[in-house]
């Protein structure tokens, strides 16, 4: 365990300098407004977005030419362009890839029928700007407004934001692609005039199968399920090859019913690549659509890119290193690219242990995600992983102690001990300043 900083005065001076240009979730910034992408918002008791995240919100990896995230986007978009054509042989789907990531709670949650008490709304899981706005936690946030605008077939691609742990597979910003397809009775049944989309059908439960919505006829539901699943299996084959093993897993989302996840077998394990389902009919009626049934899905681009290009660490997507980016310069979208790691530099491991202040011993007032954001803010991408390795409550005093292991590793060079010590001490000071913890 690391000792408390030796030259605490010097470290504190550095800390003050550091925080002049940054802020963390735990302590409200001195100013009462926050500016993101040239828009200014009022802070309130919900604000937990950090400057580190505000900086990341300016990049647009999904539209940066030759960036691996953009390559995966292009492959998926091209698959939709060629699979769905209108009568004039033009692509049916339109693509929205520059919608602002700043959305209202109404867009991110209410429009998707996500209940008030749903865990996805928690402050510990989202980056809130204030009580009214947040950085979208999924691209599905735009579904309802695009349907209201009159669209029937569309894709949404964008950056999404979630507070999460720190390891090689999680980053607070990642990218998603969502799709919606709505069909009228005539489009679904062609010339079968006696078939209907809607019915008040009491046989909601198909024996042995998932539960369809009661308002849908069995035949409408089945045709939609079939089109959704064949489209997505086709997509999985397009990305991972014809031989890919896959399976469907039942799940639930507030905005689709029934809902499924598609898993592909990759590297000796089943990997969930997307969530999908038949859209809740009430979501459609809420935006004025009464004559269509829809399917929708959403997938994460990083996870697919990490598999396709064999990229081991999610931080690499944010690297400016030409050794990384130049490996994706191939103009042939279909040519297989396997990323060759730029040498692996050594890790440097330090633990940090502290007593929580007495008023913060419950899990609601201090959560690990607060600490992870502080680490990201101070140390940025120098940190590869943070693990909670120990926690205990003192039997007499009732005080709670936590120990986190911080694994430092730079993507592009070897870190010196001195610089890691310095950053680690900055983290200790920041933690005691902002959470009132006592370093042990």
Q: Which is nearer to ligand PHE, 138 or 376 (CB)?
A: 138
Q: 139 or 217: whose CB is closer to ligand PHE? A: 139
φ/ψ of 418, rounded to 5, equals -60, -45
Nearest-approach distance from CB 253 to ligand PHE, in angstroms: 5
How near is the Cβ of 296 to ligand PHE at its closest, in Å? 4
- What residues pair up with 247 in beta bridges, in sequence order? 263
| Least distance CB 326 / ligand PHE (angstroms) | 32
The 258-297 contact track toward ligand PHE, x by CB under 6 A, reads -----------------xxx------------------xx
Instruction: Judge contact between 246 and 265, C-beta under 8 A.
Output: yes
Q: Residue 40: phi, psi to the nearest 5? A: -110, 135
The span from the first CA to the last CA of the chain, in angstroms, equals 8
* Contact call for residue 103 and ligand PHE (CB under 6 A): no
Closer of 199 and 227 to ligand PHE (Cβ)? 227
Taking the C-alpha atoms of residue 174 and residue 303, their distance in angstroms, rounded to an integer, is 9
Which residues within the stretch 27-46 sit at the binding site for ligand PHE (CB under 6 A)? none
Identify the helix (H) or strand (E) that includes residue 350.
strand 348-355
Name the phi and psi angles at 187, rounded to 5. -70, -35
For residue 431, which of 26, 31, 52 has the smallest C-alpha distance?
Answer: 26
Residue 253 interacts with ligand PHE (CB under 6 A)? yes
Least Å distance, CB 348 to ligand PHE, is: 34
Report 112-151 residues binding ligand PHE (CB under 6 A): 138, 140
**By CB under 6 A, what part of segment 171-230 binds ligand PHE?**
178
Within 8 A by CB and 6+ apart from 82, the residues are: 91
Residues near ligand PHE (CB under 6 A), total: 11
Cβ proximity to ligand PHE, 43 vs 138, nearer residue: 138
Nearest distance in Å: CB 185, ligand PHE: 22
Does position 52 interact with ligand PHE (CB under 6 A)? The reply is: no
Taking the complex as a whole, the smallest distance from the CB of residue 283 to ligand PHE amounts, in Å, to 10
**C-alpha–C-alpha distance, residues 258 and 226, integer Å:** 13
Give Rg (Cα) of the chain.
Answer: 24
Q: Taking the alpha carbons of 372, 118, 57, 48 in that order, is the dihedral positive or negative?
A: negative
Q: Which residues of this protein are in contact with ligand PHE, per CB under 6 A?
A: 138, 140, 178, 253, 256, 275-277, 296-298
């Amino acid at each position: 365990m690391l000792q408390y900083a030796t030259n605490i005065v010097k470290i504190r001076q550095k800390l003050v300098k550091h925080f002049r240009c940054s802020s963390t979730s735990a302590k409200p910034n001195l100013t009462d407004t926050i500016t993101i992408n040239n828009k200014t918002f009022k802070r309130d008791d919900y604000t937990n977005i950090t400057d580190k995240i505000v900086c990341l919100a300016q990049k647009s990896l999904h539209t940066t030419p030759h960036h691996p995230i953009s390559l995966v986007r292009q492959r998926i978009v091209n698959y939709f362009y060629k699979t769905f054509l209108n009568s004039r042989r033009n692509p049916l789907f339109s693509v929205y890839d520059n919608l602002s990531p700043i959305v209202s709670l109404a867009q991110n949650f209410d429009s998707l029928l996500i209940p008030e008490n749903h865990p996805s709304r928690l402050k510990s899981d989202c980056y809130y700007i204030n009580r009214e706005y947040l950085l979208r936690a999924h691209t599905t946030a735009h579904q309802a407004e695009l349907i209201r605008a009159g669209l029937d077939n569309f894709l949404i691609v964008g950056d999404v934001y979630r507070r999460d742990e720190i390891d090689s597979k999680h980053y607070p910003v990642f990218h998603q692609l969502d799709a919606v397809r709505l069909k009228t009775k005539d489009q679904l049944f062609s010339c079968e005039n006696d078939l209907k989309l809607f019915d008040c059908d009491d046989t909601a439960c198909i024996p042995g199968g998932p539960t369809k919505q009661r308002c849908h006829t069995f035949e409408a539901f089945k045709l939609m399920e079939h089109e959704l699943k064949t489209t997505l299996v086709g997509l999985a084959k397009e990305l991972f090859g014809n031989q890919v093993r896959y399976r469907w897993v039942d799940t639930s989302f507030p905005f689709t019913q029934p809902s499924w996840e598609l898993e592909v077998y990759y590297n000796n394990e089943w990997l969930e690549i997307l969530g999908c389902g038949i859209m809740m009919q009430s979501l459609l009626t809420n935006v004025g659509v009464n004559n269509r049934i829809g399917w929708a899905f959403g997938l994460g681009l990083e996870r697919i890119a990490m598999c396709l290009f064999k990229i081991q660490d999610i931080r690499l997507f944010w690297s400016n290193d030409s050794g990384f980016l130049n490996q994706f310069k191939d103009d042939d979208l279909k040519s297989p690219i396997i990323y060759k790691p730029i040498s692996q530099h050594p890790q440097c491991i330090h633990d940090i242990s502290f007593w929580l202040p007495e008023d913060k011993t419950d899990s609601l007032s201090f959560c690990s995600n607060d600490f992870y954001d502080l680490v990201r803010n101070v140390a940025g991408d120098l940190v590869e992983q943070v693990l909670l390795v120990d926690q205990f409550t003192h039997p007499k005093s009732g005080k709670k102690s936590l120990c986190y292991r911080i694994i430092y590793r730079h993507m592009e060079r070897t870190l010196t001990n001195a610089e890691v010590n310095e950053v680690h001490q900055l983290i200790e000071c920041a933690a005691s300043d902002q959470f009132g913890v006592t370093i042990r």
